[in-house]
Amino acid sequence: MLVSRRGVLIGAAVGGGLLAAWALRPRTYPTPLRPGRNEYAFDAWLKIAADGVITVAVPQLEMGQGITTILPQIICAELGADWRQVAVEPAPVSGAYANIPLAAKWSALWMPFAPGMADEPDDLLAERFAQISRFSATAEGLSVAAYESSCRQAAASARMVLIEEAAERWDIEPSACDAAGGFVSHEDKKLAFAELVGGASKREAPDPPALRAWAASERPIAGQAEEEIAYPRLDLPSKVDGTHLFAGDVRLPDMVYAAITHGPVEQSELSEFDSNAVAGNSRVITVIKGKRWLAAVASDWWSADQALAAMKPKFSVANVVDSSDIADKLIEATRSGTAIVVAQRGDGAVGEPDIARRYEVAPAMHAALETASATARYADGRLELWIASQAPERAREAAAKAIGLSLEDVVLYPMPAGGSFDRRLEHDHAIEIALIAREVSRDNPRPVQLVWSRWQEHVAGLHRTPAAALMWAKLIPGAAGQIAALQTRIAAPATAREFGERLFANKTHWAAREAASGVADPMAVEGAVPTYGIPLSVVEHVPTDIGHSTGRMRGNSHGYTAFFTESFIDEAASMFGREPLSYRIGMLGGDPRMVACLQQAARLGQWGGGREQSGQGIACHRIGEGRIACVATARQGEGGIKVSKLSAAVDIGRIINLDIARQQIEGGLIFGLSLALGSSTQYSGGLPTSQRLSDLNLPLLEDCPEIDVEFITGDGEPVDPGELGVAVSAPAIANALFSATGLRFRRLPLFSEGL
């Protein structure tokens, strides 16, 4: 068996060898990538078949962000393969695919007693935790940071043994050969990978392999959006023709279907239902009573859903959540709650403010097209799960615990998600389908599929945290509104802490909320430290229990902290008669990259100074090393105010796939538009008032503005573009509405205060 210090395995994988991963001490894992007939595995990442097809393992959930193209592209470029011969397969959970950067970022969630010991990707504790717990979660845009190096190492090792095999056949030095387009070549001689792979797989992998001098990248060029795409998305053809299989598309022989209804709020209990209402219904197979839900299983989903309606389940409710109570609690918390400083730049106290403003954000729904869906088969003490999960090993563990199985007796088949926006980090439906499958198997073992209705997705899904912010600033005397000190106090639930208790401790919603009660949560206010070079900046979190659990959502806290900060900066500019663009640039002396984004966005959007009734607004935001600036243009239409154009300039360092980066920015801007104008719900009697997608005021195709996106060339480490557009969209639109109407909207959704 040939194992390098980096865990690179070549020929031994064919015979079912072991991969090595190194942390505090060496640890071995069963080979996760199993070659099929006439296939040869190279490390945990790729297989090359005798017909030349290269299959890349992707351990991240594909939910529309394009990761099943990005990782294969990295391998294709390093290997020198032909993109037309590249295929993808979902990788099984394994310590070989540990997402160490994400484990480090979330160290406060899985190791709250000492997060500082594991909060950097090179910390051994983070590496050890991620490997042992098979932590391969998809979140925070860290897929490339987690896996690019491993993909390149595996591809470089494969390339070098392919070259060595060809060089030996030609009786020349390997250094005289090159690999490109799926061939190894020397002068006028060529051999296809397919011809070489059998012999190459028996060779020892070089340690370390020699990487190419350049990493996979595409440089933004004016007009390139119209050019042919070098690496088109691998998942696009099947999504266009409808053959792409999502979690809800699984079909197995003799499968039955389950519908479910949940009680309002979290601690409600099923008190009664009329089982006689479905007696004699030949399509209804069984009714399953959970403590807080009722499920019906039938020969088709519609019959199951109708059976639930006929049984008229009732729930006893311990507490009732109303929107007015949530808003009152948050506002009161900004005034008198215990504020905990979670970030500070500079020394001293802000003191008496010269300008102060309050902002609010209502709960927002994920509104993924595919609702929670899962299929399971329980037989002979083993459970098989077909499910889309951003944290598959946690879902697998939760399902096993729910029905008393060992983890080894649960098999999870990862499925793509029809949208997620972080909704698939939760595993409620994995627990439910495990329980339902076990009950169905008592009489006649068969697979069962659970699909939540849209209404149940709203009832039992966890919305984005609502928040209220109080911001105040001290100005430099005689400096025309120049800010000397800025304090931001945000009242919000400890959302990330709650989520961590659910994900890593498998706690119920209310137990997780109780565990997080009163605990400061820096992740719940992430992004509130301003990009601007304000000498003194203080960010406080007031952890607030609103009586209802909250969840993560695309953009997370940046989706509201950018709104708070950029609205406040715009108000300060207006208050002192300053032009919004130059006002911002004047405070960005320490960040020339952000200045470049602002200037380019202004050029794209034909910025006219944001004068009254111009309908133009500007905003910028930074997430990690990623930067974005956006100019929004709004106009008065027949149906009221309409956003007609969004122009964004983006700096995300080295771009791996320009087309996907553009898609992510455009999609993020539209998602941010939906949060600015809708996506929200009120609560009455513990139930959301929005029952359907149509109730959420989501933007339709006719509502989508013209979008211009340009990227600034950068050579820094790649930054995920998926969250940036979400963060900057709402404040840019809010500022545009101010210039169009003279009205300042300080609450999301923007029109919830009236026009």
Q: Which residues pair with 451 in a beta bridge?
A: 373
pLDDT at 222 (0 to 100): 60
Question: pLDDT for 76-130, tens place per residue?
Answer: 999 999 999 999 999 999 999 999 999 999 999 999 988 888 889 999 999 999 9
What CATH number belongs to 337-364+463-753?
A: 3.30.365.10
Cα angle, residue 303 at apex, residues 297 and 304 outer, rounded to 5°? 30
pLDDT exceeding 90 applies to what percent of the chain?
84
CA pair distance 349, 538, nearest whole angstrom: 8
pLDDT at site 479: 84
Radius of gyration of the chain (CA): 27
Note the pLDDT of residue 4.
36
pLDDT band, residue 8 (cuts 50/70/90): very low
pLDDT for residue 12 is more than 70: no
**Mean pLDDT score, 231-244:** 94
Percent of the chain with pLDDT over 70: 94
Query: Mean pLDDT throughout 203-229?
Result: 83
Which H, E and C letters describe 81-109, residue by residue?
CCHHHEEEEECCCCHHHCCHHHHHHCHHH
Task: Please determine, for residue 284, whether its predicted confidence score (pLDDT) is greater than 60.
Answer: yes
**Token pair belonging to 179:** 């690999």
> Domain map of the chain by residue range?
11-99+136-216, 249-317+367-460, 337-364+463-753
Length of the chain: 755
Answer whether residue 345 shows pLDDT above 80.
yes
Q: Would the CATH topology of 11-99+136-216 be identical to that of 249-317+367-460?
A: yes
Q: What is the pLDDT of residue 33?
A: 86
C-alpha torsion angle, residues 59, 60, 63, 65 (rounded to 10): -120
The DSSP-derived string for 31-64 is: -SS---TTEEEETTTEEEETTS-EEEEE-S--SS
What is the reported pLDDT for 17? 35
The predicted pLDDT at position 27 comes to: 55
Q: Is the pLDDT of residue 460 over 60?
A: yes
Pair of tokens at residue 744:
């300042």
Q: What is the pLDDT of residue 176?
A: 97
* pLDDT confidence bin for 207, thresholds 50/70/90: confident
**Given this structure, which CATH class describes domain 11-99+136-216?**
alpha beta
Query: Would you say residue 461 has pLDDT above 90?
Result: yes
pLDDT computed for residue 29 by the predictor: 67
Q: Considering only the top CATH level, what class is 249-317+367-460? A: alpha beta
The contacts of residue 707 (CB under 8 Å, 6+ apart) are 645, 646, 647, 648, 666, 669, 670
* Residues 108/541, Cβ–Cβ less than 8 Å: no
Looking at the predicted structure, is the pLDDT value of residue 34 above 50?
yes
The model's pLDDT over 496-522, given as tens digits with 9 standing for 90+, comes to 999 999 999 999 999 999 999 999 999
- Give the Cα separation of 737 and 574 in Å (integer): 13
> Helix, strand or coil for residue 434?
helix
Side chain identity at residue 192, one-letter code: A
Each residue's pLDDT tens digit, 607-648: 999 888 899 999 999 999 999 999 999 987 676 779 999 999
Mean predicted lDDT score pLDDT of the chain:
92
Instruction: Identify which of 376, 473, 357 has the alpha carbon closest to the alpha carbon of residue 427.
Output: 376
Nearest 5°: the CA angle 278, 279, 281 is 70
* Alpha carbon distance 343, 109 (integer Å): 18
* Biggest CA pair distance of the chain: 83
Measured CA to CA in angstroms, residue 221 lies from 74, 218, 601, 711 at distances of 21, 9, 16, 9
Report the pLDDT value the prediction gives residue 28, as an integer from 0 to 100.
Answer: 61
Q: Is this model's pTM higher than 0.75 or not? A: yes
| Span 523-562, pLDDT tens digits | 999 999 999 999 999 999 999 999 999 999 999 999 999 9
The helix or strand, by DSSP H or E, that contains position 358, with its residue range, turns out to be strand 355-361
Asked if 126 and 119 count as a contact pair (C-beta separation under 8 A), the reply is: yes
